[in-house]
Copies of this chain bind each other. A is one copy, B any other.
C-alpha cells in the first residue's frame, strides 16, 4: 500500500491496458512495482553512515513513478480533467498534450475535460465552461506558448471546487501549477477524502523559477534561462555600443536567483548578478554603485542581471499581495536604473543606462525541445499515478529519476541558491563579482 493511495481504495481491479509486463530480459518494458521506492544514500566516504560533517551524508527515499500493472480507475468509465494555474511557463501545452495523448491513446480514457482559466473554472460563479479535450484539440498545441486552457491566479474555496468536481464527474484532476496551486490541490484532495470520495488530485509542479524543494528541475526553467540569455546579449550589445554603457536586465526569480545565475553562466558576458539569496548594498566602498564605477573606468561598459526578488530590503513599505497570495514585489529594475543614473551623474561620469525587462517575452514562448520532452515525461507519469488511484501527490524529478512526492512536501519551502555552493562560486568566477557586497563584512 502506498502513502498516496486514495483512502479505502480497496483493490485495484483493472489491468493496465499498457502493453508492458513484469519479465526482465524479454525486451519488453516492465511495469513499475507499486511498492518500489528509490532510496538514495549519498555520503562523502564509502561506508560512512553518520553525519560527521556538513553535507557529508544525505538520505532520501521516494516512491518511484511509473506505470502500474493494476490500476484503480476503469478507463471506460473514468473522467479526467486538467487545470493550469498561475503565471505562464513554457511547457504548459506540452503537459496538457501529453496527458491527453497518454489517457486517450494508451489508457483509452475518452472523457477528458479542460478546466478553463485556472481554479476559476471549478467555481461555477465565473461561468467558464470546460473544454472537451480530444487528441485533435491538442494535436498542434506543443508549438504554442501559454496554455490553451487559460489560467488565473489564486485558489477557489475547496468546497466549491469539490462540489464542481462531483457535478462534472471528475475522477482525476491534474493540477498544473506552483506551490500556491498545489497547496490548493492538497486542500481539495483533503476535502475529497473527508467526503469519502474516491477522486484523485495529482499535481504537476510548475515553477519557472526552479524553486521547488527536492525537485532538481522544473519544466520551463531551461527554456526560461535560455531565452533570458537573449535579453542579456541585447543588454551587452547596448552596453558596449555606448561610452560607459550599462545594460541592466531584470529576470524572473521571486525567491531564488536560478534564472539569473544560469543565464550568467551560459553567457560569460555579465558583470553583476543580483539574486534574492545574497544581500548587497548600493553605497559605500563595497556597494554596487562603487563597484560599477570601477568596472566602467576599466572597461567602459557593464552588464547587470537582477532577479526580481533581489534587493527588496531597499524598499521600506510592504506592497501587498496578489491573487495568488504572493507578496507583490517592489520593482527593483526601475529602482536600480534610477539609482545608477543618479550616482553616475553625481560623479560626473558620462554614461548610458539601458534597462530591459523581458519577463513576458520569456514566460510565454513555447518550450525548447529539452523542456518539451521533460514536460511530456512528467505528464505521462502523472497519468500513471492518477490511473492507479493515487492522490494528494505530485510528480517530481530527482537524481535522474521520476518520483512521487506528497503535495504537502513542497508547501512553505523554497529551493534557493546556497551562497556556499559551487553554482554560486561559478557565477562569481564568471562575472568577476566580489564574494560580498556588504560594507560591514
Residues of chain A touching chain B, judged by Cβ–Cβ distance below 8 Å, are 19-20, 24-30, 33, 35-48, 53-55, 61, 64, 66, 88, 97-98, 101-102, 105-106, 116-117, 120, 126, 128, 140, 142-147, 150-152, 216, 222, 225-226, 229-231, 233-235, 237-238, 240-243, 262-263, 265-268, 278, 354-358, 360-361, 364-365, 368-370, 372-373, 376-377, 380, 399-400, 419-422, 424-426, 428-430, 432, 435-436
Contacts and interface: CB of A to CB of B under 8 A. Distances in A.
A234 B267 contact: no
B35 A45 contact: yes
Given A140-B140, A369-B263, A37 B45 contact: yes
A406 B421 CA distance: 25
Contacts of A216: 400
Contacts of A116: 243
B146 A237 contact: yes
B27 A46 contact: no
Nearest to A225: B369
Given A64-B44, A88-B241, A237-B146, A368 B426 contact: no
Given A35-B45, A268-B97, A243 B117 contact: yes
Contacts of A235: 360, 364
A356 B231 CA distance: 13
Listed from nearest, the 8 A-B pairs whose CB atoms lie closest are: A29-B425, A146-B241, A266-B369, A146-B237, A237-B364, A226-B369, A145-B237, A234-B364
A268 B53 contact: no
Q: In the complex this chain forms, how many copies of it are found?
A: 4
Contact of A268 (B101, B226, B230, B242): B101
Contact of A373 (B266, B419, B435): B266
A429 B102 contact: yes
A376 B429 CA distance: 11
B238 A146 contact: yes
Contacts of A400: 216, 399-400
Given A46-B61, A226-B368, A400-B399, A120 B421 contact: no
A20 B425 contact: yes
A136 to B, nearest CB: 13
A278 B29 CA distance: 13
Contacts of A43: 38-39
A421 B46 CA distance: 29
Nearest to A240: B146
23 contacts: A25-B54, A27-B435, A29-B428, A33-B44, A39-B42, A39-B46, A39-B47, A39-B48, A40-B42, A44-B64, A142-B267, A145-B234, A151-B241, A225-B369, A238-B364, A262-B369, A262-B370, A266-B373, A266-B376, A357-B357, A361-B361, A377-B426, A399-B399
Given A120-B243, A238-B360, A265 B88 contact: no
Nearest to A62: B46
A54 B24 contact: yes
A168 to B, nearest CB: 19
Contact of A243 (B88, B128, B421, B425): B128
A101 B26 CA distance: 50
Nearest to A425: B29
B361 A234 contact: yes
A265 B377 contact: yes
A40 B39 contact: no
